[in-house]
A and B are shown apart, each in its own frame.
Chain A
Amino acid sequence: MPALRQRLFEVKRRLLGRDLAGRAVTVLSDDVYLTSYPRSGNTWTRFLLANLAYPDTPATFANIEDLIPSIHLFPNRWLSTRPRPRFLKSHEYFDPRYPKVIYVVRDPRDVAVSMYHYCIKREYLPETCPIDQFVPRFITGEFFNDFATWGEHVATWLAARESSPTFLLLRYENILEDTVRELSRVAAFLHIPDDPKRLQEAVERSSASQMRSLEKKQSSDWILTRNTRPDKPFVRAAKSGEWNQALAPESVMAIENAWPTLMQKLGYAFCSRLETAMGRL
């Protein structure tokens, strides 16, 4: 009777308030969802937003889930005790209920590289697995299939919300390029005062080097890094274009062929088409 056991398990979890919210999160009208596909800069943006919104409490891995909790790590019962308006982290593909969304998108070729290392850190993959064997599995969304594929995630959010005033699109690459500028867009979107000093401070408190040193001290305090391989960091390279060195041409081509329109729309220039064309000459 696996079905019955499943149902009783569900009842128990609910009685104890342990059912993780996730897709079933109870949405409140003034919620703000910091949304992205995994490995697209969500945690960095979370630090930036937390440091901007709560300047008196510098964000750390030990308190980030209090400041901007993840809907995937907590039950609705606990989330409902958070002060409003709530800022919440989400990796869900399009959910029509989210009233306000900050959406972070990143070049899928870099997402693939980052996710490869993350899967090794979490021991979903053996270290011996070459990255180019991982890429086809990334394209089909095998490792995080609750969140759909990269293409499904990005395309559904953009299709439904792109022109909406309640949707703010951030490119990870743009945040890297000019963090203050992009954070001031976040501030404007949320009607948070964006005085330059406050922005600057939030950016410094959320820098990759600052986050790396926090991770060193606090990785056992954070649910996402606890019990993962300590020799592989969560905050990794924090740069763009790493795929150029990390991925074989076939892998690059596979990703570009999977989502050509979407990548072009987002300004992620192709390289494989050009190379193929040149190869034929």
Chain B
Amino acid sequence: MLEHLKHLKEIAFGQVPAGRRMTVYPDDLFITSYPRSGNTWTRFLLGNLIYEDEPVTFANVETRIPSIYMFPDRKLRRLPRMFKSHDCFDPRYRNVIYIVRDPRDVTVSAYHYSIKVRILPDSCAIQDFVPLFMGGNFGSGLLADPRWGCWYDNVASWLAMRHNRRFLLLRYEDMLQDPRRELVKVAEFLKMDPTPERLTRAIELSSAEHMRNLEKTQAKDWQLTKDTRSDKNFVRKAKAGDWQSELPPQSVREIESTWRVLMQTLGYELSTAPPVRQEAASIARP
């Protein structure tokens, strides 16, 4: 009851974080991804590309490319119309940069993040975390949200709609391999024509090393790292293929057998032999 009244008070004073209820305009740009897939890095890259005055930091990123989960609609209206979102497909998003990452690495990253934000004890083994993570319901509000779905839901619902709007698909792995090439794609998507120096500046100001240094001094200034364990980093290894050393074979098999179709579509090579395949049921009966 008290919760209920508190919620009503938040509605009355316009304090509810917008999330799915935000007012969307056709020109809005959304940096969308499943959690732990490189969204923050992309926000830094984009922010440093667009704003030439001062570099993006953890202290100002939310006023440059705000998260829709951090501010009420009322506040969002006064901020730049470029947003971070983790939502599943939303037909109102007309301009979407979608970042996808190998789900095996997403799992590893989510495991460490869960420990950082104290929804998982240090003692929990990663193989016990994998099924929780795959269900998409673990750590609601911090790591996941029922509206974000599981990794598969999120990626599949957006990929199905990529030809239906302005949509740029980025693979985290491609960004790591050649950030300049991928940032040029972003610039083209935004109809920008940056000088080589501007691109270099944006990439350097968003490098993992630079972001790690910023996190050291600003962890308390950012809502996502405030009050979390300071011995674990938000900006972690920032590399691809970590799963090979961190995930036990049985967990790899679990992920690959459940999400294999989408993984293959995205070019994430499977390490395990496919399970005995059921004949795909034909949708249209003859």
A-to-B contact residues, CB < 8 Å: 3-4, 7-8, 10-11, 14-15, 23, 27, 93-97, 141, 145, 148-149, 151-152, 155-156, 158-160, 162-163, 169, 171, 174, 265-267
On whether the beta carbons of A3 and B153 are closer than 8 Å, the reply is: no
Taking the complex as formed, is B147 at the interface, i.e. its CB lies under 8 A from any CB of chain A? yes
Identify the interface centre among A15, A156, A171, A265: most chain B CB within 10 Å of its CB: A156
Closest to A174 in B: B285
Closest to A269 in B: B284
Q: Given A93-B89, A266-B284, do A160 and B149 touch, yes or no (CB 8 Å)?
A: yes
Chain B residues with CB under 8 A of A163: 261, 280
On whether the beta carbons of A94 and B157 are closer than 8 Å, the reply is: yes
Chain A to chain B: the 3 pairs with minimum beta-carbon distance, closest first: A267-B284, A96-B149, A159-B160
On whether the beta carbons of A96 and B160 are closer than 8 Å, the reply is: no
Q: A97-B147, A156-B160 are in contact. List 4 more A-B contacts (CB 8 A).
A: A94-B153, A97-B149, A160-B88, A171-B284
Closest to B13 in A: A7
The contact sample of 28 A-B pairs, CB cut-off 8 A, is A3-B14, A3-B74, A7-B13, A10-B11, A14-B11, A27-B146, A93-B89, A93-B91, A94-B88, A94-B89, A96-B88, A96-B136, A96-B148, A96-B149, A152-B89, A156-B88, A156-B160, A158-B160, A159-B157, A159-B159, A160-B88, A160-B152, A160-B153, A160-B157, A160-B160, A171-B283, A265-B283, A265-B284
Closest to B160 in A: A159
The minimal Cβ–Cβ distance linking A267 to chain B, given in whole angstroms, is 3
Q: Given A151-B164, A159-B156, do A7 and B88 touch, yes or no (CB 8 Å)?
A: no
Closest to A261 in B: B163
Q: Given A148-B91, A149-B91, A152-B91, do A267 and B160 touch, yes or no (CB 8 Å)?
A: no
On whether the beta carbons of A7 and B12 are closer than 8 Å, the reply is: yes
Chain B residues with CB under 8 A of A93: 89, 91
Chain A residues with CB under 8 A of B280: 163
With the chains together, A96 CA to B144 CA distance in Å? 12
The minimal Cβ–Cβ distance linking A88 to chain B, given in whole angstroms, is 16
Q: Given A148-B91, A152-B89, A171-B285, do A97 and B146 touch, yes or no (CB 8 Å)?
A: yes
State the majority secondary structure of interface residues on A.
Answer: helix
Taking the complex as formed, is B20 at the interface, i.e. its CB lies under 8 A from any CB of chain A? yes
With contacts defined as CB atoms under 8 Å apart, how many contacts are there between chain A and chain B in the complex?
A: 82
Closest to A259 in B: B164
Q: Given A97-B146, A152-B91, do A11 and B284 touch, yes or no (CB 8 Å)?
A: no
Q: Which residues of chain B from 160 to 176 have any CB-CB distance to chain A below 8 Å in the complex?
A: 160-161, 164
We find that the number of chain B residues with CB closer than 8 angstroms to chain A is 30
B-to-A contact residues, CB < 8 Å: 8, 11-14, 20, 74, 88-89, 91, 136, 146-150, 152-154, 156-157, 159-161, 164, 261, 280, 283-285
With the chains together, A155 CA to B160 CA distance in Å? 6
The minimal Cβ–Cβ distance linking A8 to chain B, given in whole angstroms, is 6
Chain A residues with CB under 8 A of B159: 159
The minimal Cβ–Cβ distance linking A17 to chain B, given in whole angstroms, is 11
The minimal Cβ–Cβ distance linking B280 to chain A, given in whole angstroms, is 8
Chain A residues with CB under 8 A of B161: 152, 155-156
Closest to B23 in A: A3
Chain A residues with CB under 8 A of B91: 93, 141, 145, 148-149, 152
On whether the beta carbons of A11 and B147 are closer than 8 Å, the reply is: no
The minimal Cβ–Cβ distance linking B16 to chain A, given in whole angstroms, is 9
Chain B residues with CB under 8 A of A4: 14
Q: Given A94-B89, A149-B91, A267-B283, do A156 and B157 touch, yes or no (CB 8 Å)?
A: yes
On whether the beta carbons of A11 and B89 are closer than 8 Å, the reply is: no
Chain A residues with CB under 8 A of B8: 11, 14-15
Chain B residues with CB under 8 A of A169: 283
Identify the interface centre among B146, B147, B152, B161: most chain A CB within 10 Å of its CB: B161
Q: Which residue of B12, B13, B136, B164 is within 8 Å of A152 (Cβ)?
A: B164
Closest to B278 in A: A163
The minimal Cβ–Cβ distance linking B75 to chain A, given in whole angstroms, is 11
